[in-house]
Structure 1
């Protein structure tokens, strides 16, 4: 199925007069390969050994795969599914498709077969590229309901090659060799392939989070991506030759923007860890200069540090307790405009030698010059901790629709509450309803086959982000939450659930939380504890447990969570206090449809699935027996009854 509805080249040219026709991702790749053929462009850790690809290798594989892909029947504007973890051949495959003016459509590696089949059907996909047997098996299952899927190209041959190779599958290497043979037969083919893309072509089809239904397709053109990267570079957000680690899901806009678009424009060295499980270990060897992760990931990193300190020697704990609080308070004072004195600087230098430097080195952050976080609000304690280590951690704001690059804090203009100022080339304003509007050449041109959503998002030349915001006294942007999630209690008190939820998640003990209360007399919350952090706390405080469900219902854990909610309540305006809460017996799970793959709440699913629990928080019940459906690895389902405590603030603590 072709992307015929995402504006013609003439319409795109009229909309983006600043774009230059020959300015596209393949031109950048060819330029790098021509000017610096032997310079390392990408590295992958494979069985403990780093395999390197130069810019010349990069170009050769991309063009050869494109030639093989075209011989297999892929044509301009075809959509090509890509699924798996970060792997060089998956990046090469995406760029090979782009070389043909086809459009890669990546999926999250943990997507279940039924969701994957839905994407294939909606997008009429005939060809897919998969990482390994696990992903091929999913595609084969999806093909039962989408027989139009004709070809599956796989990277890792284990379990797939030989006489048992599934019908309609071919290895990446086989297609690559076919392409190389074709390039030898057709001397002018390489130049022809590299000349085909246009700055106005769609380079990638990404997808919205799908919090309210089926994810929307977000087509990003070469011009959008290159404009976004150049705007960010002009603001000092990226620099030439960054050392970058590609570990984010390839279906997320941040990965394609960082690992492909920015890497090609600014000649990054892209490093790919051996597996998601080894990413933190591999990062120590990579020692990136640029590092981004979500607030949730920064918080998890802090939790690991705290757990490690709790388990180390008494002397190391003494050093940590002596220097770390000092550094945090010094950073807090610095953000308040108070500069440290000579003695403080001397003590900090000693702390850098004894504590801060070793922690950064242990985390693989010793060379990071540009550290970022985005996606949701980050906790003050987490933010201050990493800045206290000497990382210039900054917040930024972006969406898939603007290539994830719109607004960021500058290195010397940091705020705990704002996300910064717009990049050069990006305009931001707040409309009368309080919605954040954006304009610039990095803003997409419309959703895939969804004119109604496009008309709603793009009005008057501005992208209506759907986010509520305001400018602080210093002119920096403050993001409050989703406009669609502005709710009112029965008394008419206005609140934004995500604002409250994010602040509860500032605690390392809270992994997820859903605040409810629309049309009700008060607010209540369903809390999912963080097993690692809460389990460590339980161990230190003599609380025995055998499972997540048992730990979640411990009175001591209820006291812990109640204290977290009480601290938030103390900082909230009258009428917005959370009065009752329940600790859920499990985490919210993307496979159960309760959160998206990027862990955004699907409120309609939660409201329906936990309706009895929510009602119980408003009827004054102190506990509820809840029948929870569970799925076994065999595919069978069952029901288990859980007794859940419902706590009123002020009780039991």
Structure 2
């Protein structure tokens, strides 16, 4: 057993709640832009004073509608300014926010609203309202539905016109530090989602220590962050509250379809994303270079960036020759890549899945350091992350200051600290199992090095045991295979089988360009090319790269390219892009059998 901790850098208030932050900002930084809001396609600043006023106005409407202290109010929307405004308005009314993924099915909506006992829900659009209405007869506690795109904020503001500021102040102060701030439902890779009760104290401990440890990235009046992750996810929520706590300017965009345009217009100094975003940036840049006949230059530049980053971690540092090559490629390639990321940023924080050493070194080498972290819904997002000035690529960093990470005898990662959840809503049995002996059992397998840097090697329940008795943690090889531009998803199989295999889906965005470059018919799809020798050879390269990270017994011997994607609608992945392995294994059982046939 091994454990590591760092002293707290932030003193969690003995009382009070998250609404204290927006009142403090208005008092201490009244004219500082704390939000960026798109109006008619143009980013417009919202000062701390304006934000507080708009939050209060919406809170008055909730109070007028009969929302009481401790009531649960659900938010079902894409990431947008109103999400943040209404989140703080719900707290200002003394209530508890229940986020719902905007992609949730009617059945999932029914479960979350019903289990939480939500008395009201604010949805974004007609489709979301229809999903709620379709199950409303099974939600006896639900009294109100407001729709953002049909003027929800304006309706609440008008309804609360007679509610006094004093009433809002009283309500806003009603929740204490140890009261629930939000109930975030897990993505539910197995079984029904569980509601994680996160308190105001949880977020103070999480975001306060994060901001202090990464202080140079959170400069009031200068720094800014663009939130494009789902606000319903705990990682997105952490970004929201950390930005308000600092405070720095926060901008929200609903998806990543036009992310490069949004980055160029907002120009954030800090980006928080998931590995797939950074993989897309790299793969898109490489594909564009190849299309322009500059593929060899890009590849040499990438090799230089990786070598330069690796040399930064040595006592000698980069050689004179490497420094010269790096300077040349910085002018030709790296500066253009930084411009794609907004042009002002030097750092990003990545979580949700492993980034991989290759990408970690590549981005640090181009002058845009991606700090990898690790966390769960139950840990209020990041429970470990790399410090800005002592990064160890290949790890998820050191524990959140004020918390403890322990590695149990069986390799499981255990957590302790004020940032942890209080328990699962209406589920005492699951709470007792997860919070045994005062430690949260993550279900993840990991190691701690001598400096307290944590590396995650797999999931306890996802360990595959082959017929030969070899234990295989699929995450390592899957992440390496998935890093290839053509690979959308990968799932390793082989439990009780003679060897390890893999199911692979193809990224349709890159398939068209690849098919054109390789003389394949226009309109080719994964289904039409799944047996194509060139495509098989390309995917084999990805598999070979993955195999290089593991032992021979753990390596993928055979794979199958699937005709379709793993989708959230089909139940193959969660809203946070985690694989539901049991569903995939069931739906693609014939493909798995084909791997081992003969």
Is 1:501 equivalent to 2:494 in the alignment? no
| Equivalent of 1:597 in 560, 569, 575 | 575
- Counterpart CA distance in 2 for 1:458 and 1:592 is 32
- Counterpart CA distance in 1 for 2:166 and 2:561 is 65
Provide the residue aligned with 1:414 in structure 2: 391
Instruction: Mark the CA change 1:504 to 1:324 in structure 2 (over 3 Å): closer, same or farther.
Output: closer
Provide the residue aligned with 1:109 in structure 2: 102
Equivalent residues in 2 for 1:272-421, closer than 5 Å: 272-273=252-253, 276-312=256-292, 314=293, 320-321=298-299, 323-364=301-342, 366-421=343-398
Q: Is the 8 A contact 1:63 1:193 kept in 2?
A: no
Is 1:239 equivalent to 2:218 in the alignment? yes
Structure 2 length-normalised TM = 0.93
- Counterpart CA distance in 2 for 1:609 and 1:338 is 53
Q: Is the 8 A contact 1:87 1:131 kept in 2?
A: no
Instruction: Mark the CA change 1:317 to 1:525 in structure 2 (over 3 Å): closer, same or farther.
Output: closer
Q: Is the 8 A contact 2:411 2:447 kept in 1?
A: yes
- Counterpart CA distance in 2 for 1:298 and 1:330 is 19
Q: CA deviation at 1:300?
A: 1.2
More deviation, 26-35/111-120: 111-120
Instruction: Mark the CA change 1:592 to 1:36 in structure 2 (over 3 Å): closer, same or farther.
Output: same
Is 1:47 equivalent to 2:40 in the alignment? yes
Q: CA deviation at 1:487?
A: 2.6
Provide the residue aligned with 1:150 in structure 2: 143
RMSD: 2.2
Provide the residue aligned with 1:58 in structure 2: 51
Q: CA deviation at 1:571?
A: 4.3
- Counterpart CA distance in 2 for 1:493 and 1:91 is 48
| Equivalent of 2:229 in 243, 248, 257 | 248
- Counterpart CA distance in 2 for 1:570 and 1:399 is 29
Q: Is the 8 A contact 1:512 1:527 kept in 2?
A: yes
Which structure has the greater CA radius of gyration?
1
| Equivalent of 2:207 in 229, 239, 262 | 229
Q: CA deviation at 1:519?
A: 1.3
| Equivalent of 1:132 in 114, 125, 129 | 125
Q: After superposition, what is the alpha-carbon deviation per residue over 1:576-609, rounded to whole angstroms, capped at 9, x for unaligned? A: 2322211110110010001111111111111221
- Counterpart CA distance in 2 for 1:244 and 1:173 is 27
Provide the residue aligned with 2:166 in structure 1: 188
Q: CA deviation at 1:389?
A: 1.2
Is 1:543 equivalent to 2:528 in the alignment? no
- Counterpart CA distance in 2 for 1:275 and 1:490 is 43
Q: After superposition, what is the alpha-carbon deviation per residue over 1:347-390, rounded to whole angstroms, capped at 9, x for unaligned? A: 423332332112211231x2223312122222333222212211
Q: Is the 8 A contact 1:20 1:199 kept in 2?
A: yes
Instruction: Mark the CA change 1:191 to 1:80 in structure 2 (over 3 Å): closer, same or farther.
Output: closer
Residue 569 of structure 2 aligns to a residue whose secondary structure is helix
Provide the residue aligned with 2:509 in structure 1: 532
- Counterpart CA distance in 1 for 2:540 and 2:177 is 54
Instruction: Mark the CA change 1:441 to 1:570 in structure 2 (over 3 Å): closer, same or farther.
Output: closer
- Counterpart CA distance in 2 for 1:227 and 1:49 is 35
Q: CA deviation at 1:527?
A: 0.8
How many correspondences in the alignment? 585
- Counterpart CA distance in 2 for 1:468 and 1:539 is 42
Instruction: Mark the CA change 1:83 to 1:530 in structure 2 (over 3 Å): closer, same or farther.
Output: same
Provide the residue aligned with 1:613 in structure 2: 591
- Counterpart CA distance in 1 for 2:93 and 2:347 is 35
| Equivalent of 2:175 in 197, 200, 204 | 197
Provide the residue aligned with 2:4 in structure 1: none
Q: After superposition, what is the alpha-carbon deviation per residue over 1:176-223, rounded to whole angstroms, capped at 9, x for unaligned? A: 1222x223xx46324323322211121111121210111111111111
Residue 263 of structure 1 aligns to a residue whose secondary structure is helix
Q: CA deviation at 1:82?
A: 0.6
Instruction: Mark the CA change 1:187 to 1:367 in structure 2 (over 3 Å): closer, same or farther.
Output: closer
- Counterpart CA distance in 2 for 1:142 and 1:90 is 23
Residue 182 of structure 1 aligns to a residue whose secondary structure is coil
Which is bigger in relative contact order (C-alpha 8 A, separation at least 6)?
2
- Counterpart CA distance in 2 for 1:234 and 1:275 is 29
- Counterpart CA distance in 1 for 2:353 and 2:401 is 23
- Counterpart CA distance in 2 for 1:220 and 1:154 is 26
Where in structure 1 are there 5+ consecutive unaligned residues? 1-17, 158-169, 621-653
Q: Is the 8 A contact 1:113 1:142 kept in 2?
A: yes
Residue 592 of structure 1 aligns to a residue whose secondary structure is coil
Provide the residue aligned with 2:444 in structure 1: 467
Provide the residue aligned with 1:3 in structure 2: none
Q: CA deviation at 1:21?
A: 4.0
Q: Is the 8 A contact 2:36 2:43 kept in 1?
A: yes
Where in structure 2 are there 5+ consecutive unaligned residues? 1-10
Q: CA deviation at 1:435?
A: 0.5
Provide the residue aligned with 1:76 in structure 2: 69
- Counterpart CA distance in 1 for 2:593 and 2:296 is 48
Provide the residue aligned with 2:251 in structure 1: 271
Residue 423 of structure 2 aligns to a residue whose secondary structure is coil
Q: Is the 8 A contact 2:348 2:368 kept in 1?
A: yes
